[in-house]
Amino acid sequence: MAVQPPCPGGLRDHRGPILTVANWSGEWPGLVGLLNLNGSLTKMGVTYSSIWSKDFTDDFFKQGIREWIHDRKITHDSSHVRALDTAALPEAEAQMGKALAAQLQREKAIMGIFDEGCMGMYNAIIDDSLLNPTGIYKERLSQSALVAAMNQVSDKEAQKIRDWLDDRGVKFVTGSDPDTELTDAQILGQCKMYIAALRIAQDFHCDAIGIQYQQGLKDMAPASDLVEGLLNNVKRPPAYDERGQELYAGKALPHFNEVDECAGVDALVTNRVWNAMGFDPATTLHDVRWGEDFHGNGVDDFVWVFLISGAAPASHFIDGYAGASSERQPPMYFRLGGGTLKGVSRPGEIVWSRVYVMDDALHADIGRATAVELPQEETERRWQLTTPQWPIMHAVLHGVNRDQMMARHKANHLNVAYAPSAADADRALAAKAAMFDAMGIDVHLCGV
């Protein structure tokens, strides 16, 4: 859950040319901040240029700066992007996507929004006038209500959640100092939040929820990330309402981290499409954090580090829950502690996508990628260069290079979901693109 820069409201009135710049490093989430800022400017309709570099001496950077000085703009390669042609989609998947969109628009869906905008991510907020025609509506909720609901959960109920995770092999890295270490009391608080979030979601008939932990809630409760990761799984600890009825039994409750509503729309659509296709609907968003070339272990490509603060589902990990650990969130950002759901994403075929606002309309970029497995020492190196407490995905994008991705992407986040095979991932991409299109979202295929 990276700290985001404030909403760039003043730039709406800025009269001169705007250049956004970041150093190519994963140590601090500057690239994440750059993409958040660019997405916010795009939503505002403000013209800008952008550039990035490891040490600001490479030809790519110098050529870009020369163009900026001469023309007050930088033009990047966007040849990997093309508009969706629905007629070219496979018939079965096109019809599935259309049918699911029609059902959504007919029956409606509700996203539960815990404290909209309190992290300052302007690009993550969708105005109701754009959202509602898709069939999705907001229930605006309060994080103070979440704390109140946590206080109604007994220690016994919370301990059952912890026991379930212990039984499945989750490794809690605990200590005794709450200021710097993960404690059993913090974990118990997170288990109470998990039950409370499900109860509130049930009360308001939510189809997806987003907890915006960092501002406000961070001073009242341990981190929400373990909760968020659990919610995105079909297989998760059973939780019950006050009458003893299981909540969302046998289902994932899609959670969109940091109340990124664009990711929430994406997660909800993934859930509908993947369930209809009989695939595991576990999905999550990741920060587009950083990446480097890697050669070895069957990999010879640019490998992205997709990283998020603990909200990844265990079914995405090598060995599932047994391959997961929970480590204390960094004290700088998470004063009251709480653990992550940490793991290494398993190798496999994925669909990635991003919903965003541009030209006062909803758009979606969508593409294919492969999650790859790197040697343990390389994974550890990449973790140490980013945030080692958080879950990681090593991803190779199909048909999209580093600079194309950075130039095009309109957000700090992107959504990912696995499919059983490459052919299944292609089919899922087609059905998801068709559903987006039928919801009235402008779809752009990236690298496919």
Please report which residue ranges of 359-421 form alpha helices under DSSP H: 376-384, 402-408
Do 287 and 428 sit in the same domain of this protein? yes
Nearest to residue 104, comparing CAs of 267, 272, 355, 234? 272
Nearest to residue 227, comparing CAs of 186, 200, 190? 190
Identify any residues that bridge with 325 across adjacent strands, giving them in sequence order. Answer: 171, 342
The string of DSSP letters for 306-322 reads EE-SS---GGGBTTGGG
The answer to the question of residue 86 being in a domain is no
Do 240 and 369 sit in the same domain of this protein? yes
Domain count, the chain: 2
pLDDT confidence of residue 15: 86
Judged by DSSP in three states, 114 sits in strand
Nearest to residue 195, comparing CAs of 224, 171, 227? 227
Pairing of strands 392-397, 299-307: antiparallel
pLDDT under 70: residue ranges of the chain = 1-9
Q: What is the CATH number of the domain that holds 326?
A: 3.40.275.10
**What value, to the nearest 5°, has the Cα angle with vertex 284 and ends 280 and 288?**
135
Q: Would you state the structure tokens that stand for residue 74, as one six-digit string?
A: 């930088």
Do 254 and 347 sit in the same domain of this protein? yes
Contact 252, 281 (CB under 8 A): yes
Residue 80's contacts (CB-CB under 8 Å, 6 or more residues apart) are 399, 400, 401, 404, 408, 446, 447
pLDDT confidence of residue 13: 87
Do 56 and 97 sit in the same domain of this protein? no
The answer to the question of residue 82 being in a domain is no
Helix, strand, coil distribution of the chain in percent, nearest 5? 40, 25, 35
User: pLDDT by residue (tens digit) across 107-152?
Assistant: 999 999 999 987 778 999 999 999 999 999 999 999 999 999 999 9
The identity of residue 144, as a single letter, is: S
pLDDT confidence of residue 1: 44
The answer to the question of residue 250 being in a domain is yes
Do 177 and 133 sit in the same domain of this protein? yes
The answer to the question of residue 99 being in a domain is yes
373: Cα within 13 Å, side-chain hemisphere: 9
**Where among 44, 76, 108 does a domain terminate?**
76
Do 136 and 252 sit in the same domain of this protein? yes
d(CA 358, CA 366): 15
Q: What are the Cα distances from residue 292, in Å, to 26, 60, 306, 378, 382?
A: 10, 16, 12, 11, 9
d(CA 339, CA 330): 10
Do 71 and 173 sit in the same domain of this protein? no
**Where among 24, 42, 76 does a domain terminate?**
76
The answer to the question of residue 414 being in a domain is yes
Do 136 and 42 sit in the same domain of this protein? no
Do 360 and 432 sit in the same domain of this protein? yes
65: domain range?
9-76
d(CA 353, CA 351): 7
Do 274 and 250 sit in the same domain of this protein? yes
The answer to the question of residue 4 being in a domain is no
pLDDT confidence of residue 9: 54
Contact 75, 47 (CB under 8 A): no
The answer to the question of residue 231 being in a domain is yes
Q: What are the Cα distances from residue 103, in Å, to 253, 263, 272?
A: 19, 20, 10
The answer to the question of residue 84 being in a domain is no
pLDDT confidence of residue 4: 53
Do 53 and 191 sit in the same domain of this protein? no
Nearest to residue 314, comparing CAs of 158, 153, 171? 171
